[in-house]
Copies of this chain bind each other. A is one copy, B any other.
Amino acid sequence: MIITVIGTGLIGGSMALDLKKRNIAQQIIGVDSNTEHIAKALELGIIDEVLDLKESAQKADLVIIAVPVDQAPSLLKEVLDHIKENAIVLDVGSIKANICKVADAHEKRSQFVACHPIAGTEYSGPEAAHYYLFDGKINIMTDVDKSSKSALKTATEVFEALKMKNIHMEAEEHDRHIAYVSHLSHITSFTLGLTVLDIEKDEKSIFNMAGSGFASTVRLAKSSPAMWTPIFNENKENLTSAIDSFIDKLNDLKQMIESGNTGETYRAIEESNQIKRILDGIELKNQAATLNN
């Protein structure tokens, strides 16, 4: 089929690469308001052709919206206005309630499938796009009962071609959960970066002392402000609850340490070690994906 990718960065670009390689897309049309990105995407062979939004929507069998979450809802409305009768539209943003609300008000709601493939890196732009980014990972589809059966079938097949496992949930539930397992860890990384950079102003030699543990914990602080500012803003209610829970736990741990209660500190660390069973699950998924390539 002919696929239009709106937003030719890490996610949109990586989807384009794999969907072409795996013969799902015969042709990839690229749309991007960033002229440097679109030129780069063309040069790298991520897209075959550049069109404006209206033309690309009219021509495509599938439109993938992969732009920052504050731009996606209005783009979705415009795309739905112009698509063909049997075409479908996906978005791949990290927040789902807002865009689903906009979709619900559109007469072509059933041609839209709201998605969130859980994949990415701390890099951005077309240069960051690469093959196999999605293999073995999870794609979340929300409010699927509002999509037509055929749109849902096509979307499911597209993500299966990316070797993803599809799971379904409500948009509100998605946004509440993702605040904890994705947005909060970005917040703690950004904050750790800010805290240590601030100290470094007076203590120049401090980073000689940083090792691989620090690097791992602060890695997400390299993430793009253009992507993450709107995510935090759009999910602010869920995210501030998550931050509040985190601060409560942090104050508890600080109190244990400050008062020299080593028994309680030990038990808190031991409890946190239970995260192993989750991390082992994530590593298994990644290993399986690597073995498949």
Residue positions of A touching B, CB distance < 8 A: 118-122, 137-138, 140, 167, 169, 174, 176-178, 180-182, 184-199, 203, 205-226, 228-230, 232-233, 236, 239-240, 242-247, 249-251, 253-254, 257-258, 260, 262, 265-276, 278-279, 281-283, 286
Q: Which residue of B lies closest to A226 (CB)?
A: B266
**Sampled A-B contacts (14; CB under 8 Å):** A118-B209, A120-B212, A185-B217, A187-B253, A188-B191, A189-B272, A190-B269, A191-B249, A197-B274, A212-B282, A218-B279, A224-B269, A240-B258, A244-B254
Query: How many copies are assembled?
Result: 2
Tell me the complex Cα distance, A186–B226, Å.
Answer: 28
Q: Which residue of B lies closest to A230 (CB)?
A: B262
Contact (A190, B257) CB under 8 Å given A218-B279, A222-B276, A245-B195: no
Q: Are B185 and A218 in contact (CB under 8 A)?
A: yes
Q: Are B210 and A282 in contact (CB under 8 A)?
A: yes
Tell me the complex Cα distance, A169–B205, Å.
Answer: 10
Q: Which of B197, B246, B260, B266 contacts A191 (CB 8 A)?
A: B246
Most buried by B among A197, A211, A242: A211
Residues of B within 8 A of A270 (CB): 225
Tell me the complex Cα distance, A282–B219, Å.
Answer: 11
Tell me the complex Cα distance, A249–B196, Å.
Answer: 10
Tell me the complex Cα distance, A197–B184, Å.
Answer: 13
Most buried by B among A138, A178, A221, A240: A221
Most buried by B among A118, A223, A225, A276: A225
Residues of B within 8 A of A190 (CB): 253, 268-269, 272
Tell me the complex Cα distance, A246–B254, Å.
Answer: 12
Q: Are A193 and B122 in contact (CB under 8 A)?
A: no
Q: Which of B232, B233, B254, B286 contacts A240 (CB 8 A)?
A: B254
Residues of B within 8 A of A210 (CB): 118, 181-182, 278, 282
Residues of B within 8 A of A206 (CB): 177, 180-181
Assuming A188-B217, A194-B271, what are 20 further A-B pairs, CB within 8 angstroms? A118-B209, A138-B209, A140-B209, A180-B206, A181-B196, A181-B207, A181-B209, A184-B196, A197-B272, A211-B282, A215-B283, A222-B275, A222-B276, A225-B273, A229-B265, A233-B260, A233-B262, A233-B265, A244-B254, A246-B250
Tell me the complex Cα distance, A213–B244, Å.
Answer: 21
Contact (A213, B272) CB under 8 Å given A194-B249, A230-B262, A247-B250: no
Q: Are A218 and B177 in contact (CB under 8 A)?
A: no
Smallest beta-carbon distance A173→chain B, Å: 8
Q: Are B211 and A220 in contact (CB under 8 A)?
A: no
